[in-house]
Structure 1
Amino acid sequence: MRASRLVTLLLLLQNRGRMTARQLADELEVSVRTVYRDVEALGAAGIPLYGAGGYRLVDGYRTRLTGLTVDEARAAFLVALPGAAVELGLGEALVTARLKLRAALPSELREHTERIQERFLLDAPGWYGDVGQVPHLAVVAAAVWARRAVVLRYRRWRAPEEIERRVEPYGLVLKAGRWYLVAGGPSGIRTYRVDQVLEIRSLEEEFVVPDGFDLAGYWNVYLADFRARLHTADALVRLTPEGARRFGVTPTGDGWTEARVPIKSIDHAHRAFLRLGADVEVLAPAELRSRIAETARTLAARYEA
């Protein structure tokens, strides 16, 4: 346990530069006194550390990654998203970084990472998503890196369909093959699909991200709110065993299964349930049941003709 903590402490200093004992204690979830003992242990092992105004490594000192376990090495090579790196203009850097990482690994771990690349491939976008080009992604990413404001001309689903807005880009999120920009603006923090940006103009104005803002935390709240708005009503249905399987409902036996499922709207549910054909019967709401019955009569008449 302590050996793992010492490696983590060393990597923190290597990646972040000078850190105080309190900052290290918070990161490692230990006491400041424990940090003092760990630093002394590293010094005794020959690690060149300075302690003035916080701890830091001697300039130019780098540790090799020979402390990686098999699972850690596997994770490192599974986590990379080559397509995303290319879109952000970091494709060459990713290749170089992975070559350096592989070169630093012991021969046994190199063999494991080679097998990972032979046997696993991450293809993030969904089957039916029409994920096209994102021409302004590089400019948006540059603004995120530099913490510079931009002016967007943006297409949205409600009127007015095109808007122009000055925003402060806080971060980028890749979700199901689509890039989303999280940015502060006149109405607070908003989320924008980057492929809907029609035009972007970078400004020279720098900005400061609000204290306490956490991109992952914001995104989790945004998703929860989105799902709450997405499912605004329920439908009562009967499903055959096949219908239950296709709709993700646990069957109650070999016959029909009655279930209450969330729906976005009558129109959306109408299309979704028609895909199940005769494997579903809508019991409620009455408007949805009538709409499906009307469509079934129209189809029957068309095919009889």
Structure 2
Amino acid sequence: MRASRLVTLLLLLQNRGRMTAQQLAEELEVSVRTVYRDVEALGAAGIPLYGAAGHAGGYRLVDGYRTRLTGLTADEAQAAFLAALPGAAAELGLGEALATAQLKLRAALPAELREDAGRIQERFLLDAPGWYGDADDAPHLASVAAAVWARRAAVLRYRRWRAPEEIERRVEPYGLVLKAGRWYLVAGGSSGIRTYRVDQILHIGPLEERFAVPDEFDLVAYWDSYLADFRARLHTGEALVRLSPEGARGLGVTPTSDGWTDARVPIESIDHAHGEFLRLGADVEVMAPAELRDRIATTVRTLATRYEG
């Protein structure tokens, strides 16, 4: 543990230049006294660093010195690929590894590239969860990720929306996908490849047996196909509507003129389309299907009655 901390201290000084003992203590989550001892240990090992007292004091490395300790551990290498998603790395149990990996990567870069990397972190941020909702609580995510890393089969107890609501399955975890703040497990099993919401996993029991992912399986290609199939199943019908220019823009339809535009748009269901078209107010008129037109007419009459007087 101390050896790892000494390396981190060295990399901090290399990346940031002068740092006070208090700053180092806060970064390393140790006491200032511990920092003093670690600095003495580095000096005894021949690391050319020096300290200065006073307001502008602190520790720094001799100009031009660069450590060669930039090799990444397995966890750090995995975390480096999640550098754009620090929240995701933390959820997978790799938050500390990611921080150390970024220090090592910065230490390995020339000075001008280190400055570019710093500017990127200052100016760009990826916030995965969508609006109007937080990321799902997935207490078994770390265990699922461990099974994915180790290519180890597992038994899942899973909650789903149709009966029976709770099922138990032996699965072979192929990969994890983070979509709009929600984690999904892609896993093989007796019924083929399936996708599971990680927040709906009630229990995971890792098995001793290992598995090999089929050579033809590609996680990105599978997910693209899964999304395309999901969208196809989502829009099971269509509606004929008349749209004002504003309504056309609201539905992403290109107006055919300055007046009203007739269009056929895909709909998920009567219930879903009812709510979507109502939000457009007077900028849309539903012509078909008749069931949807009648539903909206009934709602409009109810609203008119409610707001009269």
CA distance in 1, matches of 2:132, 2:69: 46
Q: Tell me by how many angstroms 1:78 deviates.
A: 9.8
Q: Tell me by how many angstroms 1:110 deviates.
A: 1.7
CA distance in 2, matches of 1:120, 1:262: 36
The equivalent residue for 2:56 is: none
Question: Which residue identity does 2:237 align to in structure 1?
Answer: A
- Do structure 1's residue 164 and structure 2's residue 168 form an aligned pair? yes
Q: Tell me by how many angstroms 1:182 deviates.
A: 0.5
CA contact (8 A) 1:172 1:181 kept: yes
Match of 2:146 among 124, 142, 146: 142
CA contact (8 A) 2:156 2:203 kept: yes
CA distance in 2, matches of 1:92, 1:296: 56
Superposition map of 1:1-305 within 5 A: 80-304=84-308
CA distance in 2, matches of 1:201, 1:78: 26
CA distance in 1, matches of 2:92, 2:290: 49
SS at match of 2:193: strand
SS at match of 1:205: strand
Deviations 1:53-97 (A, max 9, x none): xxxxxxxx9999xxxxxxxxxxx9996211110111111111111
How many equivalent residue pairs?
234
SS at match of 1:188: coil
CA distance in 1, matches of 2:86, 2:298: 48
Question: Which residue identity does 2:92 align to in structure 1?
Answer: L
SS at match of 1:235: strand
CA distance in 1, matches of 2:81, 2:224: 25
Question: Which residue identity does 1:138 align to in structure 2?
Answer: A
Q: Tell me by how many angstroms 1:297 deviates.
A: 0.8
CA distance in 2, matches of 1:78, 1:185: 27
- The structure having more radius of gyration, on CA atoms, is 2
Q: Tell me by how many angstroms 1:241 deviates.
A: 2.0
Q: Relative to 1, partners in 2 of residues 1:206 and 1:214: Cα closer, same or farther, differing over 3 Å?
A: same
Question: Which residue identity does 1:160 align to in structure 2?
Answer: P
CA contact (8 A) 1:78 1:116 kept: no
Q: Tell me by how many angstroms 1:232 deviates.
A: 0.8
CA contact (8 A) 2:242 2:261 kept: yes
Q: Which moved more, 1:238-247 or 1:190-199?
A: 238-247
RMSD: 2.2
Question: Which residue identity does 2:127 align to in structure 1?
Answer: D
Q: Relative to 1, partners in 2 of residues 1:77 and 1:174: Cα closer, same or farther, differing over 3 Å?
A: closer
CA distance in 1, matches of 2:82, 2:101: 14
Structure 2 gaps, min length 5: 1-67, 72-79
Q: Tell me by how many angstroms 1:128 deviates.
A: 2.4
Q: Which moved more, 1:128-137 or 1:117-126?
A: 128-137
CA contact (8 A) 1:77 1:116 kept: no
CA distance in 1, matches of 2:81, 2:207: 37
SS at match of 1:278: helix
Question: How high is the TM-score relative to the length of structure 2?
Answer: 0.71
Q: Tell me by how many angstroms 1:130 deviates.
A: 4.2
SS at match of 1:244: helix
Structure 1 gaps, min length 5: 1-60, 65-75
CA contact (8 A) 1:77 1:113 kept: no
Question: Which residue identity does 1:192 align to in structure 2?
Answer: Y
CA distance in 1, matches of 2:181, 2:203: 21
